[in-house]
Amino acid sequence: MSQSSSQTKPPWEDALALSLDQLQQTLAADDSGREQQWAEAVGYALARLEDALRKHRAAARRSDGPLAEVDQTRPTLARQADDLRSDYDEFLSQIPALREQIQHSAQAFAPSSGRPTEIGRVMDIRAIREQSQEILAGLQKDRQAETNLVLESVNTDIGAGD
């Protein structure tokens, strides 16, 4: 294997990183006066994230996936890997519910919707932003934990031969 190909990230990792970046950028966008478009963009970003996370979770469960080597090391690391897999399952259960909430909110902002009160509009957007940011932060934390587990596993393997 060449050095450049060994440094290439697997497709599921690239997709997850890109979808997390897209969600972060979408959440940071100004929503003033364009709440419906913002909510739709967040919904789209969450849909991409959900797809990428499904692929990442499937890879994390495979024998050649990112956590495979961790499973063959110390039991404490294997338990941490299992916890990460469970976290992925939990996030995958939260995202569809949030996307549904976003769809309802986007419809509420449509011109023909009867115009919800300004307080209701602010509350919907605030709740969507907060829930989306919690998912984003949690997944970023889990990705870092996954990286740390793999590195600790590699360091354990390397240190065992000294």
Concatenate the DSSP letters of all residues of 29-70 into one string: S--TT-HHHHHHHHHHHHHHHHHHHHHHHHHHHSTTSTTHHH
161 or 108, which is more confident?
108
Residues 130-153: tens digit of each pLDDT: 999 999 999 999 999 998 998 888
What's the pLDDT at 4? 41
- 3 located within any domain: no
Q: Pick the range with the lowest mean pLDDT from 23-37, 120-134, 142-156.
A: 120-134
- 77 located within any domain: yes
- 4 located within any domain: no
How many domains is the chain partitioned into structurally? 1
- 63 located within any domain: yes
Question: What value does the mean pLDDT of the chain take?
Answer: 82
How far apart are the C-alpha atoms of 161 and 58, rounded to whole Å?
32
* pLDDT tier, 77 (very low <50, low <70, confident <90, very high otherwise): confident
Mean pLDDT of 54-81: 84
Domain range for 45 is 10-155
Q: What is the CATH number of the domain that holds 21?
A: 1.20.120
- 75 located within any domain: yes
* pLDDT tier, 10 (very low <50, low <70, confident <90, very high otherwise): low
- 1 located within any domain: no
